[in-house]
């Protein structure tokens, strides 16, 4: 069980019920079941629908914009993808309590059953993941789409800014061994100009086993969820399956039909290793020490996988 599965809801069933009755006038509170809490509090409604309410820090204009962006992205991508993704049915952009509802996609999260799968089953799923990423990364959207192209200069400046903020706000709270490891990760990445010679593409942006739904009987992917971080970015960002082991990751990479430049694996390493940083940033910005602590757990885990 990960952080999101153990993180309790920060919105009451009564508030959820009140918000949804406009669209479900006969809804009973007993038919609202809490699933998990990450960026969103996620609820199952009448065993047929999924409702997503932003974390309390995002029940404002920012959260409303996040929902609008995701709805636009989902409506855009659905016309191009053969894999099932959420189809927004109802939503509210009310800044005090924004939310979206979509029909539940069948299947269970891959994260809940991955460890129990046999080698051949994992390979089958890895090939389907590669098929999805090959399809997603090959999309060529026009300039009027919700996803804007990313320039090499913008990409480099983005990570320079993150690195500067990290040293200013996060480093004073970390032990020297943690500072040195993160400093080396960022320095190795930023100082190699080849890391910025790639073709940006449409990415999922939060692609891990928790956002992949599968049929546990046929080992077939039934859908992909949580597209709120989709953008035009480095395709290497969607291959961060180090926690699932080298064999599984290699099956994905070997079956992937997209371009893998010489620096592809270096970029994968960097993008994986820095996954602790947004947890630190969010935890400090909103005084959420539970999220900051999750960042520390991720940092220590990543240091074991990639020791300096």
pLDDT tens for 43-52 read 999 999 999 9
**Mean pLDDT value of segment 171-192:** 98
Average pLDDT of the chain is: 94
The CATH class, in words, for 108-305 is alpha beta
Whether the full predicted model's pTM is greater than 0.85, yes or no, is yes
**pLDDT value at 279 more than 90:** yes
pLDDT for residue 299:
98
Residue 308 scores a pLDDT above 90 = no
Residue 214 has pLDDT above 90, yes or no: yes
Asked if residue 182 has pLDDT above 80, the reply is yes
pLDDT tens-digit series, residues 7-28: 899 999 999 999 999 999 999 9
Q: How far apart are alpha carbons 277 and 252 in whole angstroms?
A: 26
Predicted pLDDT at 213: 98
Q: How confident is the model at residue 59 (pLDDT cuts 50, 70, 90)?
A: very high
- 3-103: what CATH class? alpha beta
Mean pLDDT of 195-213: 94
Could you read off the pLDDT of 129-179 as tens digits, one per residue?
999 999 999 998 765 566 777 788 889 999 999 999 999 999 999 999 999
What's the confidence (pLDDT) of residue 12?
96
Considering only residues 182 and 4, tell me which one the structure prediction assigns the higher pLDDT. 182
pLDDT at 146: 66
All structural domains of the chain with their residue ranges? 3-103, 108-305
The pLDDT score that the predictor gives to residue 181 is: 98
| 237-267 pLDDT tens trace | 999 999 999 999 999 999 999 999 999 999 9
């Amino acid at each position: 069980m990960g952080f999101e599965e153990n993180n309790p809801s920060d919105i009451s069933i009564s508030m959820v019920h009140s918000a949804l009755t406009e669209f479900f006038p006969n809804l009973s509170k007993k038919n609202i079941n809490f699933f998990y809490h990450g960026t969103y509090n996620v609820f199952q409604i009448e065993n047929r629908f999924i409702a997503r309410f932003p974390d309390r820090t995002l029940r404002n204009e920012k959260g409303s914009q996040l929902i609008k962006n995701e709805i636009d992205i989902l409506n855009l991508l659905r016309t191009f993808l053969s894999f099932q993704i959420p189809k927004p049915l109802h939503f509210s952009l009310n800044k005090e309590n924004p939310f979206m509802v979509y029909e539940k996609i069948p299947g269970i999260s891959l994260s809940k059953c991955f460890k129990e799968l046999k080698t051949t089953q994992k390979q089958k799923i890895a090939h389907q993941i590669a098929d999805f990423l090959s399809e997603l990364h090959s999309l060529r959207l026009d300039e009027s789409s919700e996803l804007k192209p990313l320039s090499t200069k913008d990409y480099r400046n983005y990570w320079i800014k993150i690195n500067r903020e990290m040293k200013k706000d996060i480093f004073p709270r970390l032990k020297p061994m943690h500072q040195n490891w993160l400093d080396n990760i960022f320095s190795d990445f930023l100082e190699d100009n080849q890391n910025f010679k790639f073709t940006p593409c449409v990415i999922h942006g939060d692609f891990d086993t928790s956002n992949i739904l599968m049929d546990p009987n046929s080992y077939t992917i039934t859908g992909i969820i949580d597209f709120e971080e989709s953008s035009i970015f480095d395709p290497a960002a969607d291959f961060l399956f180090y926690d699932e082991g080298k064999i599984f990751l290699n099956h994905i990479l070997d079956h992937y039909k997209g371009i893998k430049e010489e620096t592809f694996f270096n970029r994968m390493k960097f993008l994986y290793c820095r996954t602790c940083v947004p947890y630190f940033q969010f935890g400090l910005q909103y005084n959420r020490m539970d999220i900051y602590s999750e960042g520390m757990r991720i940092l220590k885990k990543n240091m074991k996988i990639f020791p300096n």
